[in-house]
A and B are shown apart, each in its own frame.
Chain A
Amino acid sequence: MRSRPVLVLGKAGAWLLLAFLFVPVLVVVPVALTDQDYLSLPQHGISFSHFAALLVPGNGWLASIGTSLAIAAVASLVATAAGAAYAMGVWTMKGWWPSLTRLVLLAPMIVPPIVYAVGIFRLWARLDLLDTPTGVVLVHVVLCLPFTVLAVGASLSNLDPAIVRAARSLGARPPTVFRRIVLPNIRLGVAAAALFAFVTSWDEITVTLFITSRHVVTLPRRIWTSITDSVDPALAAIASVLLLATVLALALRLVRRGQPA
């Protein structure tokens, strides 16, 4: 086949842009391995001391990882339950209620978090929920809900509604239909919803920044403070750990499924 200059140029450009996306993220690894006490590339050799610093309890990294894991676990559990119930309910409904409520439920995904942060700060101040785990969990539930609704909804759109009619004509009562017929058929979607919600809560920073200060320090909150206050190479070490975990999870997924996430 004749080589087409447009396509060749386009492909080269695409790989350069892919490098722009991927390579800069990798820079945290050599910085984490520096033998210096400040942010730099290794000067005389590599050192794992900044990774070791993550494990020192006094530095708070482990505590923050624990806090983030606990908050993300509870928030994703609640958001997945509420989101899956909602998605199953509207799946069988018609009229204005599904379309109106859907718009409101998806809003947190689209409305800039800074607007919500201002509002919830005021409400939490009045309810004494600022800087409490409960306050953070409730906010994260709201922010995770759109993702769970979308994930479960996508799963339901592949399910034949005739399954409900069949079950009902055979005498299944409404709770049985939802719990024993619909739910088992969308369990993969529910699992995906829980995963999405977990990652959303684990990563959330903008609103958390407003409603926490000293007592509830999630991992993103600690990273933020560390970036703005100091230039500690431990930051590069935690960034490398997060990067490694992400790459491994994605690579596993791509290899196992042969499909993008």
Chain B
Amino acid sequence: MTAFQRWAFGLTVPACLIVTALYLVPLGTVLAISVEEPVPGLGNYAGLLDSPAVARVLATTLQVTLLTCALTLVASYVVAFALVHMSGRLRQAALLMVLVPFWISVLVRAFAWMTILRRQGVINSTLAALGLITDPLELANNRIGVVIGMVHYMMPFAILLLYANLAGIDRRIMQAARSLGARPGTVLLRLWLPLSLPGIAVAAIFVFVFSLGFLITPALLGGGRTVMIAEYISVQITNTLRWGVATSLATLLLVVVGAAIFLAMRSPALRAAFEGQVRQ
């Protein structure tokens, strides 16, 4: 090692030490507790398979996550596609409408949806004032509220990822197709969609992974009735102190997220994105 290489290596040491001591060690603790408490062995994992409550939570988590993913991707693609076709001031206004929710605290956004969706909320009181309903609609404290809140949270991320991808596609390809007589629908389905598949895949993995372990929005808008895995883990730690259940579920979540990322890293486009070299 030359003196220069030693210096370069030395510069990387503090960050690596911080992450090892304050991140890898606690994650290791989670894995260790899951096979040590309350009794050593795989009892916690066997218990997960037997528990109807855990089965219900996992089913809810999977359903809400997949629904969130699907809705977020379709909606975000429409917005990102429109964004690349907008010009100047209009695009700036549209971007501001994406960036404001992007930068606003997740708590403020969940709170805003609570005031809109709850029984005496904006939607219900407006509909009642118009005489359209007599009984308030159940929009919050259930799966509808959770999915609305989660799609709202995930969309700005997905839009920005898809927009970066779509903006980098060579538009001359579309001009060529149009001049050869392709109809707009054909251009969309046979050119835009296939060319943007890497971007769609990045956004899909991203939304999937974040939705799966999301705590705040489901906990606030689910009202304790639509319980997803993160909230269940949190309750096991803070209320019932069942460390074995909490840590084995956390490990399960870690494994699923790890597998999703591993699969994503096998694709070159996704690897580039995760390594931070998002082009364009």
Could you tell me which A residues sit within 8 Å of B by CB distance? 4, 6-7, 10-11, 13-15, 17-22, 24-25, 27-28, 31, 39-41, 81-83, 85-86, 88-90, 92-93, 97-98, 101-102, 104-108, 110-123, 138-139, 141-142, 145, 149-150, 153-154, 157, 168, 173-175, 177-178, 199, 203, 205-206, 209-210, 220, 223-224, 227-228, 235-236, 239, 242-243, 246-247, 249-251, 254, 258, 260-261
Contact = CB atoms under 8 A, between A and B. Distances in A.
B46 interface: no
Given A114-B215, A118-B247, A247-B100, A227 B22 contact: no
B93 to A, nearest CB: 9
A236 B214 CA distance: 23
12 contacts: A10-B78, A21-B97, A25-B109, A101-B16, A104-B23, A108-B23, A114-B213, A120-B22, A210-B238, A242-B105, A242-B108, A247-B96
A142 B26 CA distance: 12
B122 interface: yes
A97 B220 contact: no
B122 A41 contact: yes
Contacts of B8: 88-90, 92-93, 174
Contact of B14 (A22, A82, A138): A82
What 3 pairs across the A-B complex have the smallest Cβ distances?
A112-B213, A119-B26, A89-B11
B107 A220 contact: yes
> By CB atoms of chain B within 10 A, which of A110, A150, A177, A210 has the most?
A110
Interface of B: 3-12, 14-16, 18-20, 22-30, 33, 75, 78-79, 81-83, 85, 92, 94-101, 103-116, 120, 122, 125, 152, 155-156, 184-185, 188, 209-210, 212-216, 220, 229-230, 233-234, 237-238, 246-247, 250-251, 253-254, 257, 261, 274-277
A145 B93 CA distance: 31
A121 B247 CA distance: 12
Contacts of B75: 17, 20
> By CB atoms of chain B within 10 A, which of A85, A157, A174, A177 has the most?
A174
B79 A174 contact: no
B4 A227 contact: no
B105 A114 contact: no
A115 B250 contact: yes
Nearest to B232: A114
B107 A18 contact: no
Contacts, number: 265
A239 B23 contact: no
A131 to B, nearest CB: 13
A89 B113 contact: no
Given A6-B188, A115-B250, A142-B19, A18 B30 contact: no
A157 B277 CA distance: 8
Contact of B95 (A224, A249, A260): A260
A205 B277 contact: no
Contacts of B274: 106
Given A17-B75, A220-B107, A118 B82 contact: no
Nearest to A41: B122
B11 A86 contact: yes
B26 A122 contact: yes
Given A89-B8, A107-B19, 15 more contacts: A6-B184, A18-B94, A31-B115, A82-B15, A85-B15, A92-B4, A92-B5, A104-B16, A115-B253, A118-B250, A178-B11, A205-B107, A210-B234, A223-B105, A236-B115
